[in-house]
Amino acid sequence: MNVGGIDSGRIEAMMAQLKAAATKPSGAPVAPVGIGETPAAKVNFSDALKSSLEQVSSAQIKSEEMGNKFAMGDDSVSLSDVMISMQKASIGFQATVQVRNKMVSAYHEMMNMQV
């Protein structure tokens, strides 16, 4: 069944990617999972979401700490490292906001459905 342009196979692939992101250590890239592959185990959506939010939060904290160290004149932190860290934190936050917007939109769409 095709709901809003996303079929069930695509949704299963996205859930498998969330599962893979939740089980891998932070900082490791997540490889896309094919539609034909079956996930090894089930993952709780709230745990995957919490893990992702914690990763974004830690990236922001790390970025702020690096910026403060650089501003204080710490020679162990270079400007390029600070800028890269800030960009990673910014991209992570923007992605989180987009996911939130999609979830709110989906919630409103489901609430407006005729039963």
Does the pLDDT value for residue 34 go beyond 50? yes
Residues 82-111 pLDDT 10s: 999 999 999 999 999 999 999 999 999 999
Residues 6+ apart with CB under 8 A from 14: none
Residue 48's alpha-carbon distances to 37, 43, 55, in angstroms, are 20, 7, 11
Residues 45-80 pLDDT 10s: 888 889 999 999 999 999 999 999 999 999 999 999
pLDDT at 1: 43
